[in-house]
A and B are shown apart, each in its own frame.
Chain A
Amino acid sequence: MADGMVRAPGADVTGELLAVRRLEAWYGESHVLHGVDLDIRPGEVVTLLGRNGAGKTTTLRAVMGLVGRRAGSIRYAGRELIGVRPDVIARAGIGYCPEERGIFASLDVTENLMLPPVVRPGGLSIAEIHDLFPNLKERAGSQGTKLSGGEQQMLAIARILRTGAKLLLLDEPSEGLAPVIVQQIGRMIREIKARGFTVLLVEQNFRFAQTVADRHYVMEHGRIVDMVANAELASSLDRLHQYLGV
């Protein structure tokens, strides 16, 4: 498979798969994002770090078109996404895994897994997904919400790997999970990176983030305030500690 740095077809001349400029977003009257700028190149894993309420989830929701109002520019593979409906954005090739995981109680595990329609060729087959997540195969007939937290998280990620989406937006997949499960999710993210997926990962736990990411953006009060390459992480720890208050 692709070695991760292949140019996605239709990527910008500058090479970004996703280019966000001066992104602002509102929930009703409340103005949450105040000009977010970030870039992701094809095959990269990039994290979005920041304290509670910094606007990380809102950034992902704004990319998907799930906020009340947005302004600025979001270009995916060269195509403007502002003013585009969420279903059309998904069909452009973006997969979304929400913070609350969004497993459906009225669907069994297989139905949850098969729910997102295939939007492009090149997604993982069910056999490949079962190789990555053996638990999902064993629990195929269970009600989706009867799974453990870790299994639900795996299911929430697995279902967007099938669809052929090239860019995955993962919102705090490690949140609230036991360390062994977090390690398993870390392995899985490295594995999908090796398969050529591009990932924008929201995290609060940068110890986990540094095991999977190429670069880290730091958010504060609805803006990107810093960017650190993973290789420079060690020398930037003090700075990061200050941003994240850890």
Chain B
Amino acid sequence: MDEIFGIPAPLLFGQLLLGLINGAFYAMLSLGLAVIFGLLNIINFTHGAQFMMGAFAAWMLLNWVGLNYWVALILVPIIIGATGVLMEWLMIRRLYKLDHLYGLLLTFGIGLIVEGLFRNEFGSSGLPYQIPPQLSGAWDLGFMFLPVYRGWVVAFALVICLATWIVIEKTRLGAYLRAATENASLVQAFGINVPRMVTLTYGAGVGLAALAGVLAAPIYSVNPQMGSNLIIVVFAVVVIGGMGSILGSVITGFGLGVVEGLTKVFWPEASATVIFVIMAIVLLARPAGLFGRA
């Protein structure tokens, strides 16, 4: 069986894998956006820059401090998450009483500033980040070669998405989050320090973006634009899935990655736009998104 629907099998599976990998990043990034939007009611336009900061932080830890990929996987979300905590505490919290638009402008502006600073410092050509030796090489699956690192990215992203879903749907902390998303002042009147929870939630969402950045560093070259290129698609994913739905972001993220990959095989010219076409159709038919509550 060398061909499926007249397409050489290795090409089909190769694009499918690429789609899954892109989907893994779409899912992780839209997950963070959904968590932040649910509780803070702001669309975090700094998300792409925070993803990029995650990749750069991993690069800096390796090249300046000598800390490897595995350490970065743990340290970077904490460090970049902490910058998120600071940003919420110093700036974003001043905007909750105002229109959504202000939060959007602030986070968009900060994203541009961060990206500009990194471009000044590192240029825009991109820095290499080696795949860690434990994850280099490829498995022969019989019908195709699977680079180990790519398999790792998909599996790791699935685990992170599942873990986030469990925390939000099955734990006490998650019950606080869900309840505060519905009625924050009542949750606070029960004795929960909601402002602190909001700050930490923003930090956690940012940490997720940074974690995705570390995962991305060995695949894409580490460069200041890497976030803004990706985030445009991620926003479309979020709109399609429905703002604020956790499971929706994960399923839509992976699903659209695969759709995009398959489009590359069957109709390459459309692959760059297929997600936006789907977005337009979904917006017309179900404005709240596939998984959103209207």
Residues of chain A touching chain B, judged by Cβ–Cβ distance below 8 Å, are 64-66, 85-87, 89-91, 96, 98, 102, 104-107, 111, 114-117, 119, 160, 163
B30 within 8 A of A: no
Q: Return the contact of A163 from the options B175, B188, B191 (Cβ within 8 A).
A: B191
B44 within 8 A of A: no
How many Å lie between the Cα of A89 and that of B185 in the bound state? 13
Closest chain-B Cβ to A208's Cβ sits at a distance in Å of 24
Residues of chain B touching chain A, judged by Cβ–Cβ distance below 8 Å, are 172, 175-176, 178-179, 181-183, 185-194
Inter-subunit contact A107/B191 (CB<8 Å):
no
Residues of A within 8 A of B188 (CB): 85-87, 90
Inter-subunit contact A87/B178 (CB<8 Å):
no
How many Å lie between the Cα of A52 and that of B189 in the bound state? 24
Known: A87-B194, A116-B191, A117-B192. A98 touches B178 (CB 8 A): no
| Nearest 10 interchain pairs by C-beta | A90-B191, A116-B190, A106-B178, A86-B188, A102-B186, A86-B189, A104-B179, A91-B191, A111-B175, A64-B189
Closest chain-A Cβ to B186's Cβ sits at a distance in Å of 5
Inter-subunit contact A105/B182 (CB<8 Å):
yes
Q: Return the contact of B181 from the options A91, A106, A116 (Cβ within 8 A).
A: A106
Q: Return the contact of A114 from the options B172, B185, B193 (Cβ within 8 A).
A: B172
Chain A's interface: helix, strand, loop or mixed, by majority? loop
Residues of B within 8 A of A64 (CB): 189
Residues of B within 8 A of A106 (CB): 178-179, 181-182
Inter-subunit contact B179/A107 (CB<8 Å):
yes
Inter-subunit contact B193/A115 (CB<8 Å):
no
How many Å lie between the Cα of A163 and that of B189 in the bound state? 12
Residue of A nearest to B179 (CB): A104
**26 A-B contacts (beta carbon < 8 Å):** A66-B189, A85-B188, A86-B185, A87-B191, A87-B192, A87-B193, A87-B194, A90-B189, A90-B190, A91-B191, A96-B190, A98-B186, A102-B183, A104-B182, A106-B182, A107-B179, A111-B175, A114-B175, A115-B179, A115-B187, A116-B190, A117-B190, A117-B192, A119-B191, A163-B190, A163-B191
Residues of A within 8 A of B178 (CB): 104, 106-107
